[in-house]
Amino acid sequence: MVAQSVKHYEIEGPLGQGGMGVVYRARDTRLGRPVALKLLPPEFTRDPDRKSRFVQEARAAAAVVHPAIAQIYDVDEDPGGVFIAMELVPGKTVKALVQGRELDLLGALTVAIQVAGGLQKAHEAGIVHRDVKPENVIVTPDGHAKILDFGLAKLMEPPSGGAPDEISHMETLARTQAGMVLGTLRYMSPEQARGQAVDHRSDIFSFGVLLYEMVTGQLPFSGNTPVDTLHAIAFEETRPVSQLRANLPPSLQRVVSRCLRKRAADRYPDCRELVTDLKAVQREAESGISSEVPLARRFQEQIRSFRELTPGEWLLPAAVGGGVVLVLALLFWGRDLWGTFFFFGIVGLFTWRRLRNRRQRLARRIVNQTKKLPEVRVVAQDGLKLTVVADKAVARTYVRINAIVDKVNGSMFFGEPFTVAVREDLAPEESRALLTGPGVLYVREEPGQVRSA
């Protein structure tokens, strides 16, 4: 029987249970916010050294802030044992989405890019997750992925000792943990299966297993027993994703294959390069055109990186560049000042015209992508807020639409971003008001509907 409160956290009810303990919905009475409270089993924290390593890593992970990482709020202990308070994330796990077939290819790639970005942020801080798997990734109702349980897998490592024989280590690992972390075993890297030291490239291998499962619905490594599964991870090659699902971009197989290399040195050196390749796969999947021009892709990514600069970083170079252009113009046209003023007037007029229509142009770009989703019926705009009405909004609907809006927002150098609300439960009166309003940008043609001349 669990107490009704743990320190300043009031327990409201259970959320779930796994090999790493029981998770409860709770409320932080000091800050008045809901949290997910995980109570860790005593066997994981009985060893003082192991507990010390875990607390140290969990506190380091708490300092990592990224939209794709569920925030760790607190790590502490009371007479009942060690507990960890985390951000309470609503939504479905990727495992549930895969089992419910709610992820299409573009949705899976969007989730993958977000997760890889979160891993990159953690790896830059020296944090290795060690347990990347579908159960530890939640997609929120608005389509954003969140990685859970950073730092917890540190408790799964055996106490330090001599280097183990890899076969005996696999057998021991399978015997002692088969019933508890069978899901974890299927996503382990070869070095984890052999009991060797791991670094961020171990997470990249596990991410490859996650990506493989999201796009095919199957695991790349499996066996009749835990030992068979670990043996497959360490020594066997996977079937290409294109053999399990038709019409996948060839570049996707290259990404998955590089993630799942047996030797850590043969994998991606970091998640930054992995994200770059995933975005290239995403563009290929969206366009249906395979492009293999590394130089052009690098140029596009460089341009995209400029958009991430803060005003303080680009304002001074822009002012200097503008001054240089003005000086050159005066040197060339110094004898014809009216020509110079006319030139800059035309440039200014063109720039003003582009800026004046900028919001509507960006909204049209969002609509042109969103209306490709078969479930979308209506798209309306009210300032910077877009409303999308769908027949049935499943997870991939939220993921795809938010990815489209995020992409457009990411292309903006300045100004407030667009927001989007996905609706599927409009009342007849509300639907009528929306359709007759001034902001309707798209209405799907229904079967048998006659288009007016």
Place of tokens 């990506």: 211
Distance CA 75, CA 44 (A): 14
Give Cα 410 distance to the centre of its chain.
15
Distance CA 96, CA 105 (A): 16
Q: What is the pTM of this model?
A: 0.70
Distance CA 48, CA 25 (A): 28
Structural domain boundaries in the chain: 5-87, 92-156+170-297, 313-356, 361-443
Distance CA 84, CA 439 (A): 47
Cβ neighbours of residue 182 under 8 Å, at least 6 residues apart?
A: 226
- The CATH class of 5-87 is alpha beta
Distance CA 427, CA 433 (A): 10
Calculate the dihedral angle through the C-alpha atoms of 94, 97, 98, 101, rounding to the nearest 10 degrees.
-160
Distance CA 416, CA 420 (A): 13
Each residue's pLDDT tens digit, 37-63: 988 877 777 778 777 777 777 788 888
Q: What are the C-alpha distances in Å from 419 to residues 92, 105, 292? A: 22, 24, 34
Do the two domains 92-156+170-297 and 361-443 of this chain adopt the same fold? Answer: no
Stronger pLDDT, 6 or 410, i.e. the higher one:
6
The confidence band for 163, taking pLDDT boundaries of 50, 70 and 90, is very low
Question: What percent of the chain is predicted at pLDDT more than 70?
Answer: 73
**Residues classed as catalytic:** 131
Residue 262 DSSP label? S
- Interhelix angle 200-216/250-259, rounded to 10 degrees, is 140
Average pLDDT over residues 182-199: 82
Distance CA 29, CA 69 (A): 23
- Does position 160 have pLDDT exceeding 60, yes or no? no
The confidence band for 200, taking pLDDT boundaries of 50, 70 and 90, is very high
Distance CA 105, CA 312 (A): 38
Q: State residue 309's pLDDT score.
A: 46
Distance CA 166, CA 191 (A): 9
- Please determine, looking at this structure, whether the domain spanning 92-156+170-297 carries the CATH number 1.10.510.10: yes
Q: State residue 212's pLDDT score.
A: 97
DSSP β-ladder status, 81-87 and 137-139? unpaired
Helix (H, G, I), strand (E, B) or coil at 365: helix
Distance CA 186, CA 223 (A): 9
For the chain, give the mean pLDDT.
79
Average pLDDT over residues 71-93: 89
Average pLDDT over residues 143-170: 63
CATH number of 361-443: 3.30.70.1770
Distance CA 126, CA 380 (A): 44
Q: State residue 162's pLDDT score.
A: 45
The confidence band for 29, taking pLDDT boundaries of 50, 70 and 90, is very high
